[in-house]
Amino acid sequence: MGYVGNLVDFLIRAAEFGEGTHLFNYADKPDMSVRELVNYIRQELGILTPLPVLPYLLGLMGGYSFDLASRITGKQFSINSIRIRKFYANTTVSTSALESIGFKPVVSLQEGLSRMMRSM
């Protein structure tokens, strides 16, 4: 995940690279889990009620139930086992290549999220 303003800054800098192939993953640090992201957004929105927690295996069983229902009915559902696994997966991105060229984002990920939410 990354703030678009930081990505634009990086792309401007990348346009100055010399010839050759340059490969980068872009992400702003620190990495946030889906749960941390949801909690941060809820906090920014002033939602104070606790978020219910669903154990992974129970969620995965629910996902498989929707997979089966999808096969039986031929309909696609927005919930399935693949989405449940992705929700719980570790999705960290290495930014070592960014660090190796000395790129540092100007806007923190949290500030970027706050700016996005204020603009909505």
Amino acid found at 61: M
Please tell me the predicted confidence (pLDDT) of residue 53.
Answer: 87
Domain boundaries, the chain: 1-31+92-120
pTM, full prediction: 0.70
Give residue-wise pLDDT tens across range 56-107: 999 999 999 999 999 999 999 999 999 999 888 878 888 888 888 889 999 9
Report the percent of the chain where pLDDT is more than 90: 53
Please tell me the predicted confidence (pLDDT) of residue 93.
Answer: 85
Reading phi first (left if > 0) and then psi (alpha if -120 to 50, else beta), residue 85 is in alpha
